[in-house]
Amino acid sequence: MLGLTPASALRQAYSGCASRVRLPTRAAAPVPGRLLAATCSHFSTVPLAYELHEPAKPVADKQTSPIIFMHGLFGSKKNNRTMSKVLARDLGRHVYALDLRNHGDSPHDEKHDYTVMAADVADFIHQHGLKDPTLIGHSMGAKTAMVLALDQPDLVANIVAVDNAPVDARLSSEFPRYIQAMRKIDEANTTRQAEADRILEPYEPSPTIRHFLLGNLHRPGAARGDSTLKFRLPLTTLGRSLDHLGDFPYKNPAEARFVKPALFVRGTKSKYVPDEVIPLIGQFFPRFELVDIDAGHWVISEKPEAFREAVLRFLEPKE
């Protein structure tokens, strides 16, 4: 469910792409759709923080038809910053990289599931007057995109779902370990990232993934001269949500279908989109295309150029 920082092959400045960071400014009202209408009385949406990446040469009529980019579990808008700039440049479209609830600079809330995350994004679309957006989401963000497309298909032009599928699936065992390790780091009151990394290392051997997780550290008491590092993630809320973050709220394709274009990108070394779920993808998303990339679950960071080419082929106007 993670979304790591894009690889160094694309880690460079792209001239002509401007970025603006926007923080949430107000509480929002629920945006009901078919699924959301049944539960909207039990939750409220939160205003999402975002970065706006603007192309130097916008394509005519595309300012209100942007791309909305959503990260995975424990990620944030900064993980998709480089790819967002690339897509803004190559497609001439505005790209909004979001912080989903309980991540990055977006507000924390006790409820964390795909129904409420989809409602947050729907409300974001309405707030900003966006028309026919493309939703791109990795893992947790992919399921959020799928739920919103099935729930309010008139609100979305198309989707790109990266390494996840519309099925119930148990999350990998590393996610509870990550929560446990991050709690230990919080309790240690460390002031150095290197010390936090040493605490995390027994739980995760990959330096890349450790760097990704530690990117959520900040110094909340800096203004008071306190240099203690803490995670900006609400670890209790996310830990409590792990059991159902593998779930998918739609169970019956006969009750909800998204008949507009959909691209599913999967890593061939990942287990999240096995061959046996492909027929079900086709039932929920009958106009879907499938692209396999020689990568693990972190497709965008492992093979950024292959991902970029797949998205461009899908989104560029057809002759």
Tell me the CB-side half-sphere exposure of residue 308, using CA atoms within 13 A: 20
Confidence of residue 58 (pLDDT cuts 50, 70, 90): confident
Residues annotated as catalytic are 139, 297
Tell me the CB-side half-sphere exposure of residue 269, using CA atoms within 13 A: 8
- Give percent of the chain with pLDDT exceeding 90: 78
The 158-162 sheet, strands edge to edge: 18-22, 50-54, 95-98, 67-70, 134-138, 158-162, 262-267, 288-293
Look at residue 5 in the predicted model and tell me its pLDDT: 34
Look at residue 16 in the predicted model and tell me its pLDDT: 44
Is residue 245 scored above 70 in pLDDT?
yes
Look at residue 22 in the predicted model and tell me its pLDDT: 60
- Give percent of the chain with pLDDT exceeding 70: 84
pLDDT digit string, tens, across residues 248-278: 999 999 999 999 999 999 999 999 999 999 9
- Sign of the Cα torsion 238, 241, 246, 252 reads negative
**Amino acid, single-letter form, for residue 96:** Y
pLDDT digit string, tens, across residues 167-207: 998 888 889 999 999 999 999 999 999 999 999 999 999 99
CA–CA dist 195, 188 (Å, integer): 9
Is residue 26 scored above 70 in pLDDT?
no
Report yes or no on whether pTM surpasses 0.85.
yes
Is residue 250 within 8 A of residue 292, CB to CB? The reply is no
Look at residue 171 in the predicted model and tell me its pLDDT: 82
pLDDT digit string, tens, across residues 33-51: 656 555 544 668 999 999 9
Q: How far out from the chain centre does Cα 172 lie?
A: 18
Look at residue 13 in the predicted model and tell me its pLDDT: 34
**Amino acid, single-letter form, for residue 273:** V
Residues 146-166, mean pLDDT to the nearest whole number? 97
Is residue 19 scored above 60 in pLDDT?
no
Look at residue 20 in the predicted model and tell me its pLDDT: 61
Closest CA to 218 of 177, 186, 175, 172: 186
Q: How many C-beta neighbours within 10 Å does residue 160 have? A: 25
pLDDT digit string, tens, across residues 81-127: 999 999 999 999 999 999 999 999 999 999 999 999 999 999 999 99
CA–CA dist 173, 31 (Å, integer): 33
Residue ranges and CATH numbers for the domains of the chain are: 8-170+247-315 (3.40.50.1820), 174-241 (no CATH)
Confidence of residue 214 (pLDDT cuts 50, 70, 90): very high
